[in-house]
Chains A and B, each alone.
Chain A
């Protein structure tokens, strides 16, 4: 009898140990995958925050630009920079033949003319002088300099020619190649050229979409939740609504995209590819999430609090607004943030409403065309150029950073509210 008991006890202990071991290994696995993922993202992405510049002497020759000695600001704006820009590139190798000159030109971004122009506009006194100008290297050379480009491939399989590599190596030797913080990654919109592509458009697009989504989904969802939970009679009809809200939360996001396409764009003729439409579409998705979170936290408010307020002679409205809703706010807010975080990472519906279009302007309002961060990741991941590989990872990092900031924000709000109430 006693022996049996002991055996049983030992069995119970060992089963508990087994369970703990399983639990711990599950957590370990999860952490391991997370670590691998983050390591991968960072190791491929961190180079995107650096950009390679070629330092090229430019001769700001007035005659070549058809300028007189004392040009006005307009003159400088209008002047022809193409010739001097081209010349400065050709000067890197005075003996280059025509084909090689073409290759020289391709060593920098097509933006080089504008970069040279900016230099003169910033300092008009450079006219007639020669100055070293920082020019964005082409994305291929950028990758070469970062060591991401396999130089030992046969030439016909490379996007950089032997000649370009030769000139580039010369420049490196002379200290004429520099890697600097890639500010343009944050300030430029998307571009077909990897060296010029930035996330400004998609970042702003995401912010605007989220704001539109929040502005629509939060008030509607909270009002709906409060009405359903506190005021609506409990009958078949409200049960039906409840079931449908839960169903709505499970609808695949692409369906909402179709809805946006079919109704917002086709019927209401809202402007395509804009965060306004994106935000409204996302808000349809976020709505049930917030409603469910808000209802759950309203349900969690003890009925005794409602009774206390009602018994004091508070009306139902007062009971709800003074007691129930404030008490449910922490839960509602974290539900909202979770909903918004989902919306932030949503790609499919945005692609459907056209936010996948190539946008090379930075939106100034929700009515301007824009991309969004996850769509940007999708676009770049589709691109063939090697230069976009690191951009994808960098964009993921920005997106994750955005999410972390949002969650932090949620925690802070939650903390504040909870302090107040208990």
Chain B
């Protein structure tokens, strides 16, 4: 099943074009990895999917991005509803400077997802459990989220993202600030999360892309050079650039 389908997407930062005619389909309940050298437009593409580029004044997005048969670049698209469905985890952990509990309950509160305190408690607990953080923090839910370690903070951000039960989770280099153990935990988590969510992850680590993803897209200088199943991209790519990048000859 195709969850997201990008058609002829061009992105401009002012006069400079950052993405050229991207066509990419994202499969439901799979992990799609986006790889490519620095500055090739992976983050830009990811941010198109929940319209985070709106925040940047000079950024213009053209083309169609269809999610659930609906073009999110349409004028009628409600970004608040869109972002409720499409969660995002950033490169650097960015918990709110509030308590752990408030971090998780923020999304459900603004979207009116809990009728009572009890329901909210449940949402917080399940989100933290899914993010494999519950055991570590259950006794200090009312302490500031900024007091956690980097890896814990990133899992907190993942818990925050899944608290509103998004259909898609976008992850932009979620492990780049983490040590190998925390990275392994998050990778495990991604594997778990794909049962219920569609995941798109940007990563610089070939190994990570190979480990966690089912599908991979390779970007270069703003173009999507090649995409397909992870197996194929890593073992038998069609394009020599892909081959070179994966084998570490450039990038």
Which residue numbers of A lie inside 8 Å of B, CB to CB?
A: 233-234, 302, 304-315, 318, 322-323, 327, 421-422
Contact = CB atoms under 8 A, between A and B. Distances in A.
Nearest to A418: B97
5 contacts: A233-B57, A310-B52, A312-B160, A312-B161, A314-B80
Nearest to B111: A313
A312 B164 contact: yes
**Chain B interface residue count: which class?**
20 to 34
Contacts of B90: 304, 307-308, 311
Interface stretch (B23-31, B81-89, B115-123, B219-227): B81-89
A320 to B, nearest CB: 13
A322 B97 CA distance: 11
Nearest to B108: A312
Contact of B157 (A308, A315, A322): A308
B94 A307 contact: yes
Contacts of A302: 94
A327 B97 contact: yes
9 smallest A-B Cβ distances: which pairs? A304-B94, A313-B84, A313-B83, A311-B88, A312-B107, A308-B94, A421-B97, A313-B80, A422-B97
A315 to B, nearest CB: 5
B96 interface: yes
Contacts of B63: none
Interface in B155-172: 157, 160-161, 164
Given A322-B106, A422-B97, 19 more contacts: A234-B57, A305-B97, A307-B52, A307-B94, A308-B96, A310-B52, A311-B88, A311-B90, A312-B84, A312-B87, A312-B110, A312-B160, A313-B80, A313-B111, A314-B110, A323-B96, A421-B97, A421-B98, A422-B144
Given A233-B57, A304-B94, A311 B52 contact: yes
A310 B55 contact: yes
B44 interface: no
A313 B52 contact: no
B146 interface: yes
B50 interface: yes
B87 A311 contact: yes
Interface of B: 50, 52, 55, 57, 80-84, 87-88, 90, 92, 94-98, 106-107, 110-111, 144, 146, 157, 160-161, 164
B112 to A, nearest CB: 11
A310 B92 CA distance: 16
Q: Tell me which of A307, A310, A315 has the highest count of chain B C-beta atoms within 10 A of its own C-beta.
A: A310
Nearest to B170: A311
A42 B164 CA distance: 64
- Name, among B80, B90, B92, B157, the residue most crowded by chain A CB atoms within 10 Å (CB to CB): B80
Contacts, number: 65
B44 to A, nearest CB: 14
B30 to A, nearest CB: 21
Nearest to B107: A312
A307 B47 CA distance: 11
A234 B58 CA distance: 10
Contacts of B92: 304
Nearest to B93: A304
Contacts of A315: 80
Contacts of A322: 106, 110
B53 to A, nearest CB: 11
A234 to B, nearest CB: 6
A312 B94 CA distance: 12
B96 A313 contact: no
Contacts of A309: 96, 106
Identify which of B81, B110, B111, B144 gathers the most chain A CB atoms within 10 Å of its CB. B110
Given A304-B90, A318-B110, A311 B50 contact: yes
A310 B110 CA distance: 11
B55 A312 contact: no
Contacts of B106: 309, 312, 314, 322
Contacts of B81: 313
Contacts of A304: 90, 92, 94
A312 B97 contact: no
Contacts of A327: 97
Given A304-B92, A307-B55, A322-B106, A312 B83 contact: yes
Contacts of A323: 96
B93 to A, nearest CB: 9
A322 B102 CA distance: 11
A68 to B, nearest CB: 78
Contacts of B88: 311
B146 A422 contact: yes
A312 B103 CA distance: 11
Contacts of B146: 422
B170 to A, nearest CB: 8
Contacts of B84: 312-313
A408 to B, nearest CB: 25
Contact of A313 (B57, B107, B157): B107
A306 B95 CA distance: 11
Contacts of A312: 83-84, 87, 106-107, 110, 160-161, 164
Contacts of A234: 57
Contacts of A308: 90, 94-96, 157, 160
A313 B164 contact: yes
A421 B144 CA distance: 8
Contacts of B98: 421
Nearest to A314: B110
Contacts of B161: 311-312
Nearest to A315: B80
A421 B103 CA distance: 12
